[in-house]
Structure 1
Amino acid sequence: MYASKMKGRVVRNVLSVFVFLLITGSMWAQNLNVTGKVTDKKGEPVIGVYVLVEGTRTGTSTDINGNYTITAPSNGKLVFTSMGYKEAVATVNGRANIDVVLEDDARVLGDVVVTALGIKKERKALGYAVSDIKSEELMKNKTANPISSLSGKIAGVNITQSSGAAGSGAQIILRGGTSGSEGKDNQPLFVVDGVIYDNSSTLVGNSAFDGSYKSATTTSNRVMDINPEDIENMSVLKGPAASALYGSRAANGVVLITTKKGKEGVVEVNVNSKLSTAWAKSLPEVQTQYTRGYMEDQYDKNKNYLGTVFNDFSYNSWGEKSTAQTYDNMGNFFQGGLIYDQSASVAGGTKNSNYYLSGSYYDQQGLVPQTGYNKYTFRFNGEQKVGIFTFNANAAYSQAHTDRTLTAAGLYGSQGTGALYGVYNWSPFDDMTHYMNEDGSRFRMFGDRLEPWEERDNPYWIINKNKMYDDTDRFTGSLSVKADVTDWWFIQYRLGIDSYTQINSNRIGANGAIKQVWEKGMMSDNTRRFKYLSHNIISNMGKKFGDFDLNLLLGAATDDTETDANYMMAWNFSVPNFFSYANASTENKQFSHSASQKRLVGVFGEFRASWKNLLYLTVTGRNDWTSTLPVENRSYFYPSVSGSFVFTELLPKNDILTFGKLRASWAKVGKDTGAYETNTSLWPVGTYLGGKVGVGNSWTRGNPYLKPEMTKSTEVGVELGLLKNRLRVDYAYYTNDSYNQILSPRGPQSTGYIFCSINAGNVYNKGMELTISGTPIETKNLTWDMSLNIAGNRGTLDGLPAGMDVMYVTDVQYAGAQAASFNGGNFMAIAGTKWTRYKYDPKVEGSVKEADGQIILDANGMPTYTTSLSEVGNREAKFSGGFNNTITWKNFSFNMLWEFRVGGDVINGTKYAMTNSGVSKFSGEIRNKPLTVTGVDASGNPKTNTWTADNTYLFNGVQTSGYNIIKSYYSSYYPMETTNYITDVKLLRLRTLSVMYELPKRWLDRTGFIKRASVSASANNLLLFTNYEGDPEVAASGAGVGGSSSVGFDYCGVPATTGMTFGLNLTF
């Protein structure tokens, strides 16, 4: 019995052990080492994805190549989570390799973004602000200029379209300017597919020197050479901490543009066709009561007043009242413009290669007759993987042509007017279309009473006989090779080139209202060649050690920039209007040549560390050596440090506060100067071809002791994701201190130079940026995504040397005002004149307290004024922003983009010119009303005078009609208080309203070859609510003016446009 029991126990124990071993063995058999790669829908690796074995605490993260390794049960599940993507779950099912493609999640705050040098990083790891715009968002308000498509969409990014002219440029400024000098560009660095891309604008007529021929016009900025359809993504690195790795070229921030490439396993052909219409918006009103001419006071030989007599011998419209026929000269001149935009692309790829090939044609008819802009673009992007190596090649070619016209400032002669000045100031009682006689000669309004060069050309004569155009041919490209030495270390070398030739041409017809020496015509061609060549190599190592992720990047770069310019001019042709240099004698030809070379060499490094997806730290350093500074100062080092703290990693998971992050950064960035500014250049004297040539000193004295400009920046911010990230908040506060400004102030004449280069002055910016975005509605068929951004910046200047109280951006004055930066004042100031006002001084006997601040009037009762310029306005907005909405319902997508602005002065030089010439509606109203001027005399005694147009008064010692006194007041005295033509702007603009319909797939399947198709319609600049008389988005001298720019100056430019666009997109 006992033996039987013992036997039973042994059997049970043996069976238990066997079962235990069987189960244990089975468990061991179920655990696998799983490897794989995580990519997005475009095939790009996603770094930092957290891979978790479901139901356990076992987890890991993907490396910089998107790879991961984890041990998991053969029948278990892997959960993949990453900010910016929807959660993915994969069943192991005995597989040792599992690749996963993550889908984008628009609601999630912390996705992966492209940063300096094209390195992708998790947004939550960044200690500074980076904003990015996808191609889909850019296409909602696509324009020929990619810069314009950013308007209103990113906090702290200020976009100003210089005018409504075909091919006109746009200016972009991030967080205020850092350089006050006219020659220093404050726009950010542009980098396309890892290669620096020149975005300069040719300056034509923006100062007294380069505008000596009064050839003012608006020009393009060179980013327009890119086809917007080729852009996959644009990332804006706003602060120096974000862009420090690019060195001295990136002190103003960086705009990274990534172009498209093919996808694995798919060959797609895309065709995009758009037709747009545009028409002038916000044209100023004109008076239609008073004719061209003036009312002349008449006296007898004893100077007794006889009354007024009408005289039509004037271009101005201060004549007599009339009910004669009037003409809408302005409305008839600006034509409706058409835009044809066609593009096509082919893209495809395999597991180890991809390609993208595109071409486009853009043709824009300008608002001004005889003007337009067209361009062709071609692009090839290719990538091939061979073993551990990845070879990449990008090449792009563009060809652009622009026909322009003279804007406000015209030619010598023609009373200094261009075509548009004439349009705005032509009398409505004269038919402006009558510009030519039947025999083809110019119609002369006053016959032989004026010499030709004393006359003012008709705008139609100017646009038909005086041609201005430019042609640009550009090639950009890069070759790179990347070696994935291990799964945590790669080395990459890139060669990049940016080369273009731009020819700016002028053709002035014979027998126009021009200076006498050009009576038989003039031609000029300015040919500028630009070439940029770069080499850079980087080594990037990233590895995980327990809870720590460490990354070290080291690199070196060499940049060479060369420019070459030839200028030729000929005049007094033997055969009028035959434009050939062979048609002019040697003494009537001129030639000049200039060239420059610049080299920048840099070494840099970046160390990144993170701990448990909770704490992130980034430290960078770069040292540059530049050829443009003295040997003692050409080497300069600048570091940066930034970090972030994702505090929600410490909190229990909840649906209220889903994500929270604090960030901070500090950075120092340098900026060198242009070529040869340390030297005193010699200029040719007497450069006529065939003549004797001498040399003389240039206007500017060089400085062999120049130091680089430096900028120190501090930024703090917070990012929040609320209500399961349905609501997202991003706030930043920053300060930028830019010191050692390289300036060229006027020096004493005893030096023999007009200017001298020095280091002096600080430009200080501080501001805030707030972005609130979210998805208020998300159902199966209806989604509403919105984004509100608000930003404000205050830029000031101080530290100028003794005796230098102001820096003028340009020598050209608009309405008696200039763009300027004042010592101790605003960086984007307006310099103007003021009426003299009484100052009460209690220490002076007889000083009248009640008169303090009153206008001091002269003996005639008119305001006295100062001729010296002082700060009278600030062109920088107090705050501005945009409100972007996209509503998707089934196959429809609706987009509405509003922009708003509070503050920022704009000077209305157009109204000033039209009032002075008696054409503005304002000038018609004022002569119908009594004029009352109130103030005090020099002693502080109250003084008031009133004049009416139909009475006479003693003025300047003689009897004068009230009509002419009123005219004199508004022509000579009223403008001397510059603020009379300045508006502190407030605006609300509907920038874009669009709808897109994607055709149902079941319809397309019937064709057998169309994969996707959509139709769209949009309206641009549809509504504008503002207190300004016109459109305040202006930059009278174009986008290329450095320093504080010409933003905020409105002077007889091509008006802003409103337009409609209709589009068709097909994918095969």
Structure 2
Amino acid sequence: MAANANAQNIRVTGRVVTDAGQPLVNATVLVSGSSSGVTTDTSGMYSISAPGNGSLVFSSIGFASQTVAINNRTTIDITLINTAQQLEQVVVVGYGTQRRRDVTGAVASIAGVELAKQPVQTPTQAIQGRVAGVQVISSGEPNSLPAVRIRGTGSTIAGVNPLYVVDGVLTDDIRNINNSDITSMEILKDASATAIYGMRAANGVVLITTKKGRPGKTSVTYDGMVGVREATDLVDMAGENQYAGYLNEASIYYGSGSPLVPSTALTGANTDWYDEILRTGFTQNHNVGLSGGNDKFTYYLSTGYLSDEGILEGNDYNRFTVRSNNDFTISKVFKLTTSASFAKGNANGANFNAFSNAYRAAPIVPAKENGKYGNTSAVGNVANPLVDIEKNYNQTLDDRIQGNFGLDIKPIAGLTLRSAMGIDLSYVKTTAYGYYYDGSIFLTPGGNQISVNQTLSLTKNDANRWIWDNTATYTKTIDKHNFTILGGVTAEEYKFNSIVGTANQVPGNKDQWFLNAGASGTQTVVNTGDKYARNSYLGRVNYSYNNRYLLTATIRADGTSRFSSDNRWGYFPSVALGWNMVDENFMSKQNLFSVLKLRGSWGQVGNDNIASSLYYSIARQNVPYFFDNTLFLGIQFPNINDKDLKWEITDEFNFGVDFTMLDKRLSGTIDYYDKKTDNALIYINLPAILGDADNKYLTNATTITNKGFELGLTWTDKIGKDWTYSINGNVAHNKNRIENLNGGQPLIGDLVGNYPVTKTDNGQPIASYFVLDNVGIFQSESEIAASAQKGARLGDLIYRDVSGPDGKPDGVINDLDRIYAGSYQPKVTYGINGTVGYRDFDLSINTYGLAGSKIYNGKKAARGTIQQTDNIEADVARHRWTPNNPNTDVPRATLGALPASTYFVESGDFFRINNLTVGYTFPSGKLEKARISSLRVYLTAQNLLTITPYTGFTPEMRAADDPAKPGAAVLNQGVDINTYPTTRTFAFGVNLGF
């Protein structure tokens, strides 16, 4: 019943908290029966004018709503129950929202307040360990985009990253999003949930909804955080004496017979190169938000500044963001919504050569003395890492504009027509400069580390994307039958233009960094680009009978310019069924379950994420050739392409159970899925006579499967009046496998130490390590004589003689003896998270781990590939085989690179305390004189502790995508070459509301 409009209004204040005692930010407080309302601040506080005999409605995404009678009370504190697995929660799905009780697919929800707690740049970093079946591979490098794998890896060439949808705008990059602006994040995991996005949804979909204004007085919030970052788990390299002893032993006993490092070279430098190039970095993040409005107009404005000093000298990132979200209610029929953001970034890139060289550089050379550098190259070693950093400049400036502008029309009851235009504009400029230097900058002469060209490289990348969505949604209830019908058409166009210019002998003064300032004739300009378009038709029917029996059916037809006209269109259906079993009469007398829902679904989604030119061959004109001693100009097709390229199709079954029990204290979700990608793209070999430059071409010739299960459990309870707590755990198992290559050739990863390491082949996970099997170390001459390694020395690794051409051991160790030795893809991922509240104090802890993952220690394997004077790890020097130390698994001292073998394959399992936060919220009564509505202070630690057997910097291997090498990041995942170390962060933060 609406509140009596003539009743006298009173001022009602209070605090809204979660069932775990956490302040609930941006919860809505409405006067029942009207549109008058406010939102809570960063401490969950609110203040509203309302009739004394009226009621207030409290609501927030992810929590069950409550309606409370005022009864002339001036203070009303409310606890909202987390409904992460409850049926009444409203969640965002593709092109709309649904009650959780009506969701038939595998959808996970995370409140924005949880994402903003952690000192990370991108929201996906904050979901590590929070969602079953979602693996997040992050990096300590500032402005890096975490790799997200939803239910395994489903492609090799056509991309494996999920689709991000930010307020309706489809994108592949969310580094421009301010975490404090997010209201909620939904992760659509199975094909029935993602099918509404068709061709973009093969790798899952992440929906991000940013904050909106609420009716009521203007509220101002400030969220600030300052902290420091440091490297964790650094690799301990050999010192001066260990280094000299190891190399001299290898040279004297197993090499030329003379010492490589004479005693005269030992000057006491004992340089730790990681100490020289790494630092403790300062980080800060400041955000100011304003929100408010009335029943006709609501607004949310925010601005943010983020600064992150990398732990590598010279590496940092700064970002400034602005967001404006507005809703205009023009009439009962028309409503206009706008969402616009601008982000400006400035990054000084990490010099990854410095990482590689710091691992290999000789400790007997000083880093820098009296303004001059130690000359590592003069001792036959790699470049001085400090010179790499200080004599190179690499800056990237990026401007990003993103927005969605929509008009909702409700001509009749139940029908909503929506037309929305989304834009995503990106302008990136990179300036790279190599300074001039010669041998005079070094302490000692010689070597080959000089730079005389003064090279300038300017890159300008402009990209723009527009998406026009037109949908109609009709909702109707007839007795016990509920229908929601969605139909629509979408169009999308993307354009990309890249200009790269280089010049030599450009002056070192930044004011003269123009290509024309370079030496005449050294300038080059390369201009490339891309353009593609998509057009789609979509439809979805949601039906429920008596809130018990649920049906969701979806169809999407997608057309893309990335395939030929014969294969341009793809059709992606899905169907899902649900049964709210707890509402049946036969369960009316049970007291165990308050929620019990069974789900089953099947669906198909596509993948067109390939280069736009792969289905047609481009001719090269005016190619010179000779015939009968006469020069002719002809036409050449350097690459042969498959004109019949078509969609990768992912087909997925999902079966799930959602439940809440034990008086709503325990809730959970169980899912089993079987996902198969047919027509996956892979290369096949061509006869050289056909003239293709690579002797291979891309076609649809394999199948990839991912099968597994997911379990998530949450326990929430109270102890007395002062204590609240919640515990959440999730675990997921996935099995990845290549099936049916159908004439395609196994994909080989990059060389490491002159040896191939990964092989993607039938019956194995993607990017499996294919190496020799190390089974021990030779301890006697008789062992060598009886082995397949007749030229081996004592202390050498023993490789298992697997097979010859006839399938039996043949007494020779070669490529036929390679075995599959696991892959980086984990078999199990898990997370354990908890919160504790005591009065005004709060404590939260988030953990993450995985098992069954393997890492190829490429740093160690590549040692000695070129320079035999490369440094070694301290543990290798300390534990190497010698006649006096035979009981070890580390081989004797060597100078060159060893063959790729299981010796370099290590466990990638780890358990990490991702975040630990302690906070205190000041009682509102103590802040009134300062006109502060809320104040919370907190201390937080990110990546506090990692437990892992891996001996490298970090067990998280995030391979970077390379546009020139499609699929390289996938085919080389897990190979540790130049991995940026994981960083540990300690920070102090403030949440302030006015």
TM-score band, normalised by shorter chain: 0.7 to 0.9
Say which SS state the counterpart of residue 563 (structure 2) adopts: coil
Corresponding residue number in structure 1 for 2:166:
192
Partner deviation per Cα, 1:41-64 (whole Å, 9 max, x = no partner): 968899xx9xxxxxxxxxxxxxxx
Counterpart of 2:682, as a letter, is: L
- Helix, strand or coil: the match of 1:1044? helix
Secondary structure of residue in 1 paired with 2:214: coil
Change (3 A) 1:261 1:860: closer
> How far apart in 1 are the matches of 2:58 and 2:738?
51
Whichever residue aligns with residue 719 of structure 1, its letter is: D
- Name the CA shift for 1:771/1:291 in 2 (closer, same or farther; >3 Å): closer
Whether 1:258 aligns to 2:209 is yes
AA aligned to 2:203 is N
Aligned position for 2:280 = 336
Name the amino acid aligned to 1:982.
V
> What aligned pairs does 1:556-595 form with structure 2 within 5 A after superposition?
556-573=489-506, 579-595=513-529
Question: What code does the residue aligned with 1:427 have?
Answer: A
Q: Is the 8 A contact 2:551 2:578 kept in 1?
A: yes
Given candidates 993, 999, 1006, the residue that maps to 2:922 is: 999
Spell out, residue by residue over 1:60-90, the C-alpha distance to the aligned partner (whole angstroms, 9 max, x if none). xxxxxxxxxxxxxxx9999999996557568
* 8 A Cα contact 1:426 1:432, kept in partner: no
CA deviation vs aligned residue, 1:773-825 (integer Å, no higher than 9, x gap): 121435422110111010111111122233x44223x5353684544422221
Secondary structure of 1:290's counterpart equals: helix
Distance in 2 (alpha carbons) for counterparts of 1:82 and 1:267? 19
**Could you tell me which residue of structure 2 aligns to residue 248 of structure 1?**
199
1:991–1:1022 contact (8 Å) kept in structure 2: yes
Q: Which runs of 5+ in 2 are unaligned?
A: 1-23, 33-52, 72-77, 440-446, 624-632, 777-781, 799-811
> Quick one: distance in 2 between partners of 1:878 and 1:1034?
15
What is the CA distance between 1:545 and its match in structure 2?
Answer: 0.6
Q: Distance in 2 between matches of 1:129 and 1:710?
A: 19
* CA 170–699 in structure 1, closer or farther in 2 if over 3 Å, else same: farther
Query: How far off its partner does 1:856 sit?
Result: 2.0
Moved more, 662-671 or 903-912: 903-912
Q: What is the percentage of aligned positions where both structures have the same residue?
A: 23
Please, which moves more after superposition, 79-88 or 471-480? 79-88
Residue of structure 2 in register with 1:1011 after alignment = 933
Alignment-derived partner of residue 866 in structure 1? 814
Q: Residues 548-578 of structure 1, C-alpha deviation per residue, up to 9 Å, x if partnerless?
A: 1111111100011111111111124478996
* Structure 1 match to 2:544: 610
Q: Which has the larger radius of gyration?
A: 1
The code of the aligned residue for 2:617 comes to T
| Structure-2 residue corresponding to 1:532 | 465
1:347 aligns with 291
Is 1:738 matched with 2:738? no
Counterpart AA for 1:1057: T
1:1018 and 1:1060 in contact (8 A); partners too:
yes
Residue 1027 of structure 1 is matched in structure 2 by: 949
Kindly state the Cα deviation for residue 480 of structure 1 after the two structures are TM-superposed.
Answer: 0.2
TM-score scaled by length of structure 1: 0.77
- Which residue in 2 is equivalent to 1:930? 883
Q: Summarize deviations over 1:305-338 as a string: whole Å, max 9, x none.
A: 999443449xxxxx89979462333234310000
Q: Does 1:520 align with 2:472?
A: no
**Contact residue 553 and residue 575 of structure 2 kept, 8 A:** yes
Question: In the alignment, which residue of structure 2 is the partner of 1:59?
Answer: none
Paired amino acid for 1:1044: V
- Contact (CA 8 Å) 1:836, 1:856: kept in 2 or not? no
Q: 1:178-577 residue pairs with structure 2 within 5 A?
A: 178-181=154-157, 184-199=158-173, 223-288=174-239, 289-292=241-244, 294-295=247-248, 308-312=257-261, 324=268, 326-387=270-331, 388-407=333-352, 418-434=353-369, 437=372, 444-445=375-376, 456-511=382-437, 519-573=452-506
The answer to which of 729-738 and 1023-1032 deviates more is 1023-1032
Alignment of 1:496-895 (within 5 A): 496-511=422-437, 519-573=452-506, 579-650=513-584, 651-652=587-588, 654-672=590-608, 673-682=610-619, 700-753=639-692, 754=694, 755-802=696-743, 804-808=744-748, 810-813=749-752, 816-834=755-773, 856-861=788-793, 863=798, 865-867=813-815, 871-895=820-844
Residue 459 to residue 697, structure 1, CA distance change in 2 (3 Å): farther
Is 2:92–2:186's contact at 8 Å kept on the other side of the alignment? yes
**TM-superposition CA deviations, 1:117-142 (whole Å, max 9, x none):** 34110112122111111111112223
Q: Could you tell me which of 978, 990, 995 is aligned with 2:913? A: 990
- Provide the C-alpha distance between the structure 1 equivalents of 2:25 and 2:939, rounded to a whole number of angstroms: 28
How far did residue 1027 of structure 1 move? 1.4
- Greater displacement, 485-494 / 304-313: 304-313
Query: Residue in 2 aligned with 1:109?
Result: 86
Deviation at 1:170, TM superposition (A): 1.1
Q: Secondary structure at the match of 2:602?
A: strand
Q: Deviations over 1:964-1016 (max 9, x none)?
A: x9333x744xx325210111233221111101111110011122x21111111
Corresponding residue to 1:1037 among 959, 975, 978: 959
Is it true that 1:169 corresponds to 2:165 in the alignment? no
Is the partner of 2:877 in helix, strand or coil?
helix
Q: CA deviation at 1:925?
A: 2.0
**Aligned counterparts of 1:81 and 1:923: Cα–Cα separation in 2:** 59
Shift of 1:1046: 4.1
- When structure 1 is superposed on structure 2, of 107-116 and 342-351 the one drifting more is 107-116
**Change in 2 beyond 3 A, CA 1:931/1:768:** farther
**Aligned-partner residue type, residue 866 of structure 1:** N
Letter in 2 for 1:344: V
The answer to whether the 8 A contact 2:230-2:984 is kept is yes
User: Which string of whole-angstrom CA distances, capped at 9 and with x for unpartnered residues, describes residues 380-420 of structure 1?
Assistant: 1111011111101111111111112331xxxxxxxxxx211
Q: Contact 2:730/2:832 (CA < 8 Å) preserved in 1? A: yes
Q: Distance in 2 between matches of 1:806 and 1:853?
A: 35
Distance 1:373 1:307, change over 3 A: closer
CA offsets, 1:138-165, max 9 Å, x none? Answer: 122231121111111111110001x322
Structure 1 segment 87-106 matched on structure 2, within 5 A: 88=66, 104-106=81-83
1:240-291: CA deviation from partner (whole Å, max 9, x where unpaired): 2111111101111100000001111131111111101011110111223334
Root-mean-square deviation over aligned CA pairs? 3.8
Maintained 8 Å contact 2:365/2:374? no
Residues 1:398 and 1:81: Cα distance change in structure 2 (over 3 Å): closer
Secondary structure of 2:117's counterpart equals helix
Task: Could you tell me which runs of 5 or more consecutive residues in structure 1 were left unpaired when the two chains were aligned.
Answer: 1-39, 50-74, 94-100, 200-222, 314-318, 408-417, 687-693, 838-849, 935-945, 949-964
Match of 2:856 in 1: 907
How many residue pairs get aligned? The number is 890
Question: What residue number does 1:67 align with?
Answer: none
Q: Supply the distance in 1 between the matched residues of 2:322 and 2:294 (Cα, whole angstroms).
A: 23
Structure 1 position 595, deviation (Å): 1.6
Q: 1:818 to 1:380 in 2, by over 3 A?
A: farther
Change (3 A) 1:1055 1:346: same
**Counterpart secondary structure, 2:790:** coil
Taking structure 1 as reference, are residues 296 and 186 closer, same or farther at Cα in structure 2, changes over 3 Å only?
closer
